[in-house]
Structure 1
Amino acid sequence: MADIDAWVWWLIGAAALGIPLVITAMPELGMLSVGAVAGAVTAGLGGGAVLQVVVFAVVSCALIAVVRPIAVRQRAEKPVLATGIDALKGKQAVVVERVDASGGRIKLGGEIWSARTLDEAAVYEPGRQVDVVEIEGATAIVM
């Protein structure tokens, strides 16, 4: 054990921190792992034990202080690509059967949907283009 260089121990430490990173998906462990790699580089360049620990601590803390808030912000943002029902809102559809406040049918995205009007007094005849405002269950609300 005494004949193993310090940089090898740092790389073993980096791997030991990387394994739980994969298992738990905690990005902080990855940042500590990068800090251990920085400690290994310092050891490989001939830095003393104190300098290696300082480099490990500075790199790890800097990554946690800078990268973690960015990662948290990215997780909190909603995806730009709308999917499911959200993707249908704002789309145009063609009236297949007369649509009024009590119901009707439209062709939306290549499929026939039940629909009703947003405005109780509005009536749309077959062939007319309408805009989907909302989806309630399996019914499109149009205007």
Structure 2
Amino acid sequence: MDVVSSYAWIGWLVLILVFVIVEMLSLDFVFLMLAIGSLGGLISGLFGLPWWAQIAVAAVLSLLLLFLIRPPLLRALRRGGDPTRSNVPALLGTEGSVVQSFGGHDTGLVKLANGEVWTSRLAGDEASAPALEPGSRVTVTAIEGATAVVVPAGRQTHE
């Protein structure tokens, strides 16, 4: 056991290095907290604590950091995020006009306000409504794959 106690500092350095490298790849602060905990284990070893106490110090410090420091750190980091919706959420509620008529369970084409032309169909509860003719205004209520689910403008329904 003298060998373990004598060379534990090498193990701590290796762990710190591995945790820092993994943290650089993940960017989630989990492995950074583990690296700091390992640093606590290394420092406790330099003060002469036995190897099992070094592990206990590293474990306790890592857990404290993970549960007390990491959550507010993540909140502070994400506070300045871009609130702009993108992708599918940005299309929900977008208005457009019918390019190719459709109705019932048929599909047609709709040109959305952002300039994109989508294959579209009427929402389930609108399927019995009369067919929409070119130029009719519609509102997107859902996206299913590459199909925009629409209702005539002014109506808001959810499937």
Alignment of 1:1-143 (within 5 A): 9=10, 10-19=12-21, 21=22, 30-42=32-44, 47-50=47-50, 53=54, 54-64=56-66, 66=67, 81-83=85-87, 85-101=88-104, 102-108=106-112, 109-118=114-123, 119=126, 120-143=128-151
Q: Show structure 1 runs of 5+ residues with no match.
A: 1-5, 71-79
The structure richer in strand per residue is 1
Deviation at 1:23, TM superposition (A): 9.8
Q: Which residue of 2 aligns with 1:75?
A: none
- Secondary structure in 2 matching 1:115: strand
Q: Provide the rounded CA distance (Å) in 2 between the counterparts of 1:61 and 1:98.
A: 61
Using a 3 Å threshold, how does the CA distance of structure 1 residues 59 and 140 change in structure 2: closer, same or farther?
A: same
**How many residues were matched structurally?**
124
Deviation at 1:86, TM superposition (A): 4.9
Identity %: 31
Q: Provide the rounded CA distance (Å) in 1 between the counterparts of 2:90 and 2:48.
A: 58
Listed one character per residue, the Cα deviations across residues 70-119 of structure 1 (whole Å, up to 9, x for unaligned) are 6xxxxxxxxx8553x45433321122233422343210231222333231
Q: Show structure 2 runs of 5+ residues with no match.
A: 1-6, 72-82, 152-159
Partner amino acid, structure 2, of 1:130: V
TM-score, length-scaled by structure 2: 0.52
Q: Provide the rounded CA distance (Å) in 2 between the counterparts of 1:122 and 1:35.
A: 67
Contact 1:94–1:130 under 8 Å retained in 2: yes
TM-score, length-scaled by structure 1: 0.56
Alpha-carbon RMSD across the aligned residues, in angstroms, is 4.2
Partner amino acid, structure 2, of 1:110: G
